Structure 1
Amino acid sequence: MGGFLIDFLVCGAGISGLLVTRELLERGASVMLIDRGSIGSEASWAGGGIVSPLYPWRYNDAVTALATRAQHAYPKLVAQLQSSTGIDAQLNVTGLMMLEADDSDRALAWAEHNGHEMASWSPEDIYAREPGLAVGFTEALWMPKIANVRNPRLLKALQHYVASHPNASIAEHCELLGLNCTQGRAESAVLGLGGSSRKVEMGQVIMTTGAWTGNLLQQSQAVLQVAPVKGQMLLYQSEKPLLKGMVLNKGRYLIPRNDNLILAGSTLEFEGFDKVATASAAEDLHTSATAMLPALSTTPRIGHWAGLRPGSPRGVPYIGYLPGLQNVAVNAGHYRNGLVLAPASAELLADIVMNEVPGLDPAPYSPVMRLHDRESERHGLGAPQMGPKWQSPAIELNISDA
Structure 2
Amino acid sequence: MRVVIVGAGINGLLTARELAKAGVEVMLCDQGELAQQASWAGGGIVSPLYPWRYSPAVTALSQWAQAAYPLLRDELMADVGIDIELLTSGLLFVNTDDARDARVWAQANATTCEVLDADSLRERWPGLAHDAEQGVFFPDIAQVRNPRLLKALIADLQRYPQVQLRSKTAISSVSGAQASHSASVMFTSGELVEADAVIVCAGAWSAKLLPRAAVPVRPVRGQMLQYETAPGTITSMILRDGHYLIPRADGLVLCGSTLEEAGFDNRTTAEARELLEKAAASLWPGLTEQPPVRHWAGLRPGSPNGIPFIGAVPEQAGVWVNAGQYRNGLVLAPASAALISDLVLGRTPRLAAAPYAPMT
Q: Normalising by structure 2, what TM-score?
A: 0.97
Q: Counterpart in 1 of 2:117? A: 122
> 1:262 offset after TM fit, Å?
0.3
**Residue correspondence of structure 1 range 313-352 to structure 2 within 5 A:** 313-352=304-343
The answer to whether 1:189 aligns with 2:180 is no
Which letter maps to 2:187?
Answer: L
The runs of at least 4 consecutive aligned structure 1 residues that moved more than 6 Å come to: none
Matches of 1:299 and 1:186, distance apart in 2: 57
Note the residue ranges of structure 1 that are not aligned, 5 or more in a row: 1-5, 373-402
Q: Counterpart in 1 of 2:164? A: 169
> 1:116 offset after TM fit, Å?
1.4
Matches of 1:12 and 1:94, distance apart in 2: 30
Preserved CA contact (<8 Å) 1:185 1:326: no
**Residue correspondence of structure 1 range 275-290 to structure 2 within 5 A:** 275-290=266-281
Matches of 2:44 and 2:5, distance apart in 1: 23
The answer to whether 1:134 aligns with 2:129 is yes
Find the partner of 2:192 among 185, 199, 202: 199
Matches of 2:145 and 2:174, distance apart in 1: 35
Which letter maps to 2:271?
Answer: S
Preserved CA contact (<8 Å) 2:183 2:319: no
> 1:125 offset after TM fit, Å?
2.2
Find the partner of 2:303 among 296, 312, 326: 312
Matches of 1:108 and 1:355, distance apart in 2: 39
Count residues in correspondence: 359
Matches of 1:240 and 1:117, distance apart in 2: 26
Matches of 1:108 and 1:238, distance apart in 2: 32
> 1:300 offset after TM fit, Å?
3.8
> 1:134 offset after TM fit, Å?
1.4
Matches of 1:345 and 1:297, distance apart in 2: 38
Moved more, 74-83 or 13-22: 74-83
Task: Find the residue that maps to 2:8 and give its secondary structure.
Answer: coil
**Residue correspondence of structure 1 range 2-81 to structure 2 within 5 A:** 7-81=2-76
Preserved CA contact (<8 Å) 2:225 2:292: yes
Preserved CA contact (<8 Å) 1:38 1:173: yes
Kindly provide the CA deviation profile for residues 285-308 of structure 1, in whole angstroms up to 9, marking residues without a partner as x.
Answer: 001101111111113411000100
Residues 197 and 365 of structure 1, relative CA distance in 2, 3 Å threshold: same
The answer to whether 1:208 aligns with 2:201 is yes
The answer to whether 1:230 aligns with 2:221 is yes
Matches of 2:234 and 2:103, distance apart in 1: 24
Q: Counterpart in 1 of 2:287? A: 296
The answer to whether 1:102 aligns with 2:93 is no
Preserved CA contact (<8 Å) 1:122 1:138: yes
> 1:273 offset after TM fit, Å?
0.9
> 1:197 offset after TM fit, Å?
2.1
> 1:183 offset after TM fit, Å?
6.0
Task: Find the residue that maps to 1:306 and give its secondary structure.
Answer: strand
Matches of 1:348 and 1:363, distance apart in 2: 11
Residues 330 and 185 of structure 1, relative CA distance in 2, 3 Å threshold: farther
> 1:205 offset after TM fit, Å?
0.3
Which letter maps to 2:350?
Answer: G
Kindly provide the CA deviation profile for residues 48-85 of structure 1, in whole angstroms up to 9, marking residues without a partner as x.
Answer: 00000010011100000000000000111011111111
> 1:162 offset after TM fit, Å?
1.0
> 1:185 offset after TM fit, Å?
6.7
Kindly provide the CA deviation profile for residues 265-298 of structure 1, in whole angstroms up to 9, marking residues without a partner as x.
Answer: 0001111111110011001100110111111111
Percent identical among aligned pairs is 46
Note the residue ranges of structure 2 that are not aligned, 5 or more in a row: none
**Residue correspondence of structure 1 range 209-288 to structure 2 within 5 A:** 209-218=202-211, 223-288=214-279
Matches of 1:349 and 1:306, distance apart in 2: 28
Residues 184 and 250 of structure 1, relative CA distance in 2, 3 Å threshold: farther
Task: Find the residue that maps to 2:301 and give its secondary structure.
Answer: strand
> 1:186 offset after TM fit, Å?
4.1
Matches of 1:158 and 1:189, distance apart in 2: 24
Measured on the aligned residues, the alpha-carbon RMSD in Å equals 1.5
Which letter maps to 2:207?
Answer: G
Kindly provide the CA deviation profile for residues 24-66 of structure 1, in whole angstroms up to 9, marking residues without a partner as x.
Answer: 0111111000000011100000000000001001110000000
Task: Find the residue that maps to 2:19 and give its secondary structure.
Answer: helix
Find the partner of 1:359 among 324, 338, 350: 350
Kindly provide the CA deviation profile for residues 237-286 of structure 1, in whole angstroms up to 9, marking residues without a partner as x.
Answer: 12453201100000000000011100000001111111110011001100
Matches of 2:289 and 2:210, distance apart in 1: 47
Which letter maps to 1:228?
Answer: P
> 1:184 offset after TM fit, Å?
11
Task: Find the residue that maps to 2:32 and give its secondary structure.
Answer: coil
